[in-house]
Amino acid sequence: MAALSVSSDPDKLDVLMIHQYLTHSQWAQGISLDIVKCSIKNSLCFGLYQGEQQIGFARIISDYATFAYLGDVFILEPYRGLGGSHLLLDAILSHPDLQGLRRYLLITSTAADLYARYGFSSVPNPEGYMQIYQPYQ
């Protein structure tokens, strides 16, 4: 079995695999390939690889000074439990462009324990957070 690795090289990303996963995810159902391409282009993206095959993904949306949002995090089902999520988060949180930020934010319904190990906690006063939500059609 090939070793796991993480890269932030956008040229290595398997955009079609990322789209395929996201379009069936609970948070991005129906997302178009064009939107996925645009989101990748405008984010700092991380691929998780086993050898040359991409098996996971995450992206950071940031101003690189004060704030970062961690989104679209996934590892393909057959590759879960191999330590890839830790490798991915270690690479993201140690990335040189993401040091000294005041706040990281993410939304999860399935991996709170994982993120808590990295210092993430529930948002105090969530009633102050607001959104405009427009699901993909």
- The tens digit of pLDDT for each residue in 5-41 reads 999 999 999 999 999 999 999 999 999 999 999 999 9
CA atoms 74, 78, 83, 88: torsion sign:
negative
Contact assessment for residue 45 and residue 11, using Cβ atoms and an 8 Å cutoff: no
For the chain, count helices (H), then strands (E).
Answer: 4, 5
Q: Which CATH class is domain 4-117?
A: alpha beta
* Confidence band, pLDDT 50/70/90 cuts, at residue 70: very high
- How far is Cα of residue 133 from the mean position of the Cα atoms in its chain? 19
Q: What is the pTM of this model?
A: 0.94
- How far is Cα of residue 107 from the mean position of the Cα atoms in its chain? 10
88-131 pLDDT, tens digit each = 999 999 999 999 999 999 999 889 999 999 999 999 988 898 98
Tell me the C-alpha to C-alpha distance, in Å, between residue 11 and each of 14, 41, 45, 109: 8, 11, 10, 30
Residue identified by tokens 């590759």 is 79
Contact assessment for residue 30 and residue 83, using Cβ atoms and an 8 Å cutoff: no
